[in-house]
A and B are shown apart, each in its own frame.
Chain A
Amino acid sequence: MGAVLLLSVGTVWGLAFAPADYQQGNSFRIMYIHVPTAIVAQSSYMMMGVAGLILLVWRMKLADVVAAAIVPLGFSMTLIALFTGAIWGKPTWGTWWIWDARTTSMLVLLFLFIGVGALRDAISSVETAGRACAVLAVVGMINIPIIKYSVDWWLTLHQSSSISLTSAPTMPSSMWVPLLLNILGMYCFFGAVLTSAVRTGILIREQNTVWVAEVVAGEVDNDVF
């Protein structure tokens, strides 16, 4: 619910009420989804990497369920970020795509999500698949700082970050407040969908236990679905 509220307020504000950019005009409004999805995509990968570490070291089964649930969601977020980036790039840069450090490392993130997903599908043993995915997820975390700092370390077409935790945003509040709402909203959306997927994932893994039978019976009685 929080996700719906934040995202709709942020989006309507960003689309209809925020002023246009003096250079880019109205195409800069694509930022209101490009930035939040890109941030959440990277956060979700970090979360998957940490879950992988927990699985490898502490053998916690829940971590594997979480990691598995993140894959399609993180993939979607990365895909949206890349798509909206391309759509934004055409009217501003003059090209849909360029192989600079930022865009390429973001494409690598997409392939990492695809790779982790494919690896899980390829291995039939749940336990082995989980460990293999965890190794790939942990190793792939190297890509996250590369994405983040690519615009500072190398010369790229992509501009530097407009907002950060440590410095003032490079735009007036009428522009960054809706952006902040959408970032929070995108995190809430991610959290809500992930929670649902994890809950189902746990039920599937534990389906031979008594407590799952009780949960299912309870949900059927309440006619939840």
Chain B
Amino acid sequence: MFFDSFGAFLAMGGHAFYVWLAFGLTLLLILGNIWRVRALRRTFFRQYMSKQVRSREDMKELHL
């Protein structure tokens, strides 16, 4: 460990604002990207399923 204490680690030798802002923003964008591709996948499945259900209902109507 380079720092003497946890407090010193957080303070980053006076550069806390810059270092943590940079790492925080990066974490945010990384998590945002993971969330985005997951949401993309979920949305596709949801839309695909509802489309299938609809077409099945259409078929029922045809049989009637």
Contacts and interface: CB of A to CB of B under 8 A. Distances in A.
B32 A16 contact: no
Contacts of A29: 12, 19
A16 B18 contact: no
Contacts of B29: 76, 79-80
A196 B39 CA distance: 11
B26 to A, nearest CB: 5
Interface in A12-36: 15-20, 25-27, 29-30, 33-34
B23 to A, nearest CB: 6
A99 interface: no
Interface stretch (A47-55, A84-92, A110-118): A84-92
A16 B19 CA distance: 12
Nearest to A85: B22
B45 A225 contact: yes
Interface residues of A, number: 41
Interface in B24-61: 25-26, 29-30, 32-34, 36-38, 40-42, 44-45, 48-49, 52
B48 A216 contact: yes
A87 B29 CA distance: 15
Interface of B: 1-3, 9, 12-15, 18-19, 21-23, 25-26, 29-30, 32-34, 36-38, 40-42, 44-45, 48-49, 52
Given A15-B9, A34-B22, A193-B33, 20 more contacts: A16-B3, A19-B2, A26-B19, A29-B12, A29-B19, A30-B19, A73-B33, A76-B32, A80-B25, A83-B26, A84-B22, A87-B21, A90-B18, A193-B34, A200-B37, A200-B44, A207-B44, A216-B49, A216-B52, A220-B45
